[in-house]
Structure 1
Amino acid sequence: MSETDSQRESEPESEPAPTPRTGGVREVKSAGRTVELLEVLAERGDRPARLRELAEKLGVPRSSMYALLQTLIDRGWVRTDATGSLYGIGIRALLTGTSYLDSDPLVRAARPYLDEASDALGETIHLARLDGADVVYLATRESHEYVRTFSRVGRRLPAHAGALGKALLAERPDELLPEGELEQLTPNTHTDRAVLAADLAAIRERGYAVDREEGVTGIAGFGFALRHDAPATDAISCSVPVARLTEEHERQIVAVMREVRAKIEATASRR
């Protein structure tokens, strides 16, 4: 049977009882499925998905998935190719994400200080937030010396594999480290929990995190948790190519980023 035929099937679908939630509020099944679908498409990035893949991934009949996709296409949350067989995240997701960044008080407070750090150091500056076992980039100021081929805003990186995430993990007990296998992004990524725990202990003593090609080969990072909240959920970092990193430049980076961190924390606390 072709995929088109299966799309037209009238498959019986029994909806399980709504899942109880904290406080007695029950999850709306259709809303939960919609969010799960958008999250799957967002995670795939530039790899569009077929109807069959999405139906199998979410465990729903193809007919139901097809109807949901068409609804989201009509509203701009999902896009499809000329053949109508490949699906990706739509432009409405971008508009909503932009609205999130524009309305977030910390992002607004941090912007001028990210510019200040970028001007002082000439390197790439990031602001990110912890989300589960990952950090999500909220703002970036790119270096004039080297330019990446993609924007980091909205992208995710495992928290254990970079300066931003390690700075935030160090604000928490080791018992709260991400569960499961630690993903290896480069040969220098900490995948041994004991090694990671020792690194986090050093970060607590030092006051900031150092990432030497642990997230991206050829790039070193220096991460600083923003402690206006406890435990910290946001951090800033400076990234620099290791080929250009000298001891003097490292000292300059640490001094500037500490000063910028203090300014952001003071502004965020006042707000």
Structure 2
Amino acid sequence: MGVPAAEQTLAILRHLASQASPLQASAIARSLELPRSTTYHLLNTLIEFGFVVHYPEQRVYGLGVGAYELGSGYARQEPLQRLARRPVAALADRCGNSAHLSVLLGRDVVYVIEERAAGRPLLITEVGVRLPAATTASGRAMLASLPHPQVRALYADREAFSLEGPGAPSSLSQLRRMLVDVRANGFAAEHGEVTEGLASVAMPVLDGTGYPVASVAVTYPQAEQSPELVERLVGEVRTTTRMLSRRLGG
């Protein structure tokens, strides 16, 4: 026997997830055949727990960070690790540099797979390590693939940038400019922001909806950097992320 309030709440979340952009409450109520009063009550509850964001200027509602974290939680678990471990290990072997896979959790990245290349510098990005997303190539790759309202919800005020590391943007406008460059280049990079002397290139792994469930990165010594090396590493990372995206239905 179902619980009507739970069924209605899940219906709202599924409906918002299936849309290309946020919706007005009246449109949600009409599509799901719910009373308007019930719709507003459920939306306010979802907002309180972070699963829905209200954009008062447009009078629309969209998915919040809580909903994304549920998806990230699934991606971080065994299905993604089973799919990605061998491809990431093969990437490290082909590149001769350490490779890792991470997921986005709020404004942080969490590293879930690390494959160290023999004889290369040790990294701080061990499994379970959590770093500010806007500081890392991995985080920038995923942020650049998020819908604009999602990025705005994650970085809603100045305080959101106070915990980012050196080299990271200090305002939403700076972050947007950085993400525009990432999308234009086709990959994200960082140069010594995480560990002095080390640089990284990263690209997102996209699911069937185009959502960034993870990112794959390769880290190499800055002293070895050259246009030819970066081009080769980006090509190898692209091969790996496309393979993983296909396996996830992307």
TM bucket, shorter chain? 0.5 to 0.7
Distance change >3 Å, CA 101–CA 153, structure 1 → 2: farther
Misfit runs of 4+, over 3 Å: 100-103
Query: TM-score normalised to the size of structure 2?
Result: 0.62
Give the Cα–Cα distance (whole angstroms) in 1 for the partners of residues 125 and 204 of structure 2: 22
One-letter amino acid of the counterpart of residue 155, structure 2: P
1:160 to 111, 125, 134: 134
Cα distance, 1:130 vs. partner?
0.6
- Structure 2 contact 207–213 (Cα < 8 Å) conserved: no
One-letter amino acid of the counterpart of residue 138, structure 1: V
- Structure 1 contact 133–158 (Cα < 8 Å) conserved: yes
Give the Cα–Cα distance (whole angstroms) in 2 for the partners of residues 224 and 125 of structure 1: 12
* Pair 1:140 & 2:114 matched: yes
- Structure 1 contact 189–215 (Cα < 8 Å) conserved: no
* Equivalent residue number for residue 153 of structure 2: 176
Give the Cα–Cα distance (whole angstroms) in 1 for the partners of residues 206 and 90 of structure 2: 19
Give the Cα–Cα distance (whole angstroms) in 2 for the partners of residues 133 and 178 of structure 1: 8
* Pair 1:112 & 2:86 matched: yes
> What is the CA RMSD across the aligned residues, in angstroms?
2.5
Q: Looking at both structures, which has the greater relative contact order when contacts are Cα pairs under 8 Å and sequence separation is at least 6?
A: 2
1:205 to 149, 162, 184: 184
Cα distance, 1:181 vs. partner?
3.9
In structure 1, runs of 5+ residues without a counterpart are: 1-21, 25-99
Give the Cα–Cα distance (whole angstroms) in 1 for the partners of residues 194 and 136 of structure 2: 5
Give the Cα–Cα distance (whole angstroms) in 2 for the partners of residues 149 and 253 of structure 1: 18
Give the Cα–Cα distance (whole angstroms) in 1 for the partners of residues 123 and 188 of structure 2: 25
Query: TM-score normalised to the size of structure 1?
Result: 0.58
Cα distance, 1:184 vs. partner?
4.2
Q: Percent identity?
A: 24
1:235 to 215, 223, 237: 215
- Structure 1 contact 228–269 (Cα < 8 Å) conserved: yes
Give the Cα–Cα distance (whole angstroms) in 2 for the partners of residues 264 and 184 of structure 1: 29
Cα distance, 1:218 vs. partner?
1.5
* Equivalent residue number for residue 215 of structure 1: 194
- Structure 2 contact 132–164 (Cα < 8 Å) conserved: no
SS in 1 for 2:112: strand
Distance change >3 Å, CA 105–CA 244, structure 1 → 2: same
